[in-house]
Amino acid sequence: MEQLSFLAIPAVGAKLTPEQAMRLAISEAAKGSARVSPNPQVGAVVLDRDGGFMASGYHEYFGGPHAEVNALKNFSNQQLQGAQVYVTLEPCAHEGKTPSCAKMMAKLPLAKVVFGLIDPNPLVAGQGAEILKSAGIEAELFSSADKKAEDEIRLLLEESCEAFLWNFRNKKVFVALKMASSLDGQVALRSGESQWITGPESREYVHYLRACYDAVLVGKGTVEFDDPSLNIRHSTISKKNKVIVIDAEGDLLHKFADLKMTQVHDSADLLWCVSAELSEETQKKLAKLSNRPRVLFVKTKVAGDLDLQDLLAQLYALGLRSVLVEGGAFTASSFINCSLVNRLYLFQAPIIMGSGGSLSWTNSVRIATMSEKLKLQNPRYQVFGNDFLITGVL
Ligand SMILES: NC(=O)c1ccc[n+]([C@@H]2O[C@H](COP(=O)([O-])OP(=O)(O)OC[C@H]3O[C@@H](n4cnc5c(N)ncnc54)[C@H](OP(=O)(O)O)[C@@H]3O)[C@@H](O)[C@H]2O)c1
């Protein structure tokens, strides 16, 4: 779950409760959301020995310094005497692209480090805390006497790095589905026309969301109807992204060179998912195309649909950790039918398109009884211009 509004940074010396410190660390973490994947977003807050605010920091970009380093970097050992650090994720124990934060902090005269989540990475889990304890620094998982606040904060912590936690816990790609619909759930006219349903504010946020995920995925119909660029066009974020297209028969590959996305992406960043059961002859033809994307051959199911589990497993093997599915209707429904959507972002515009001549994003989802209805967990609501966004865990 990504956010756009952040908590105000307190004045130096302002007293913070542990709950306020951890909420601020979570808010700081979110500032890195568009640039850190596949790393988790992490935020840190430093308080003096009396609980007065000293500084905050966050992991700003993949490969860059970690949140703890950014929060602590401007202080001398003398200033940090007895200080406390609130950090959203257990400090790392291992050397990766940057040195171990636990080892760095173990050398400082800190009194306490409170972390929001135990790192699920087996190279860290519990070991970051052990390094700190061995150095005589109190290291503990965040808890609060106010159990309601603790539950709320724990949920925010889990949401703040949900893709990272999902990846480590399940060894699978995290899937978010984004759709823009009318009030009556329609995403396009049957003629294919769909631009634009939502306003510019929603669309700008979608570009931000694209930056938060490792790749954008669409079905063949969307490419045929819209010829979208699917790159990131945002006022403050400049980032290259990957695009995945489901095109079981490889039909669009023959006009690949003419597609808009081909003009704005490197071919290596475009992944085409075709059926592994394409005839040898067709496969040879595809291999001969001079200008073509990377082609993934995906298993098919009885009805001829691509096996989306196999597709996601191949993406995981390629190092992708999160995907934003952007439709269209058939593709969205396929992911829902296979129970593969982790998070939904549904933008709704204050318009009515009628179901007579349009497509709903759940077009081929069949719910037979109310007990089978799908329910969003922990829904959140945000307004963008005249539209609103509902997001939650599916
Ligand atoms: N409002 C929005 O948020 C939004 C977003 C995106 C698109 N749209 C609109 O939606 C419309 C397109 O929707 P759509 O439902 O027609 O097309 P789509 O979902 O983009 O593409 C559907 C096609 O993709 C392939 N496909 C998807 N999942 C597959 C699977 N599991 N296995 C095999 N093939 C799979 C199939 O191609 P084959 O034909 O080869 O079987 C299928 O016919 C357009 O009008 C577009 O403008 C709206």
**What are the chain's domains?**
18-164 (3.40.140.10), 172-393 (3.40.430.10)
Greater confidence (45 vs 125) lies with 45
Task: Return d(Cα 391, Cα 294) in angstroms, integer.
Answer: 32
Classified as helix, coil or strand, 163 is: helix
pLDDT surpassing 90 at residue 285: no
pLDDT of residue 4: 60
Cβ-in-10-Å burial (0-12, 13-18, 19+) of 174 comes to buried
What is the distance between the alpha carbons of residues 25 and 153, in angstroms, rounded to a whole number? 11
Mean pLDDT for 203-212 is: 95
C-alpha dist (Å) from residue 56 to 99, 103, 210, 286 = 19, 19, 26, 52
Active-site annotation holder among 2, 68, 90, 159 = 68
Residue 73 pLDDT:
95
Alpha-helical segments (H) within the chain: 18-30, 67-72, 101-106, 127-134, 147-160, 162-170, 200-212, 220-226, 260-264, 280-288, 308-317, 329-337
- Is residue 193 part of the annotated active site? The answer reads no
Q: Give the number of the atom of ligand 1 that is nearest the alpha carbon of residue 197.
A: 1
Tell how far the Cα of 331 is from the centroid of ligand 1, in angstroms. 5
Q: What is the pLDDT of residues 241-277, one digit of tens each?
A: 999 999 999 999 888 989 999 999 999 999 999 999 8
Residues across the chain: 394
Q: Is the CB of 182 under 6 A from ligand 1?
A: no
Q: How many whole angstroms from 308 Cα to the centroid of ligand 1?
A: 14
103: number of CA atoms within 13 Å, CB side? 8
**In the prediction, which pLDDT does 289 show?**
75
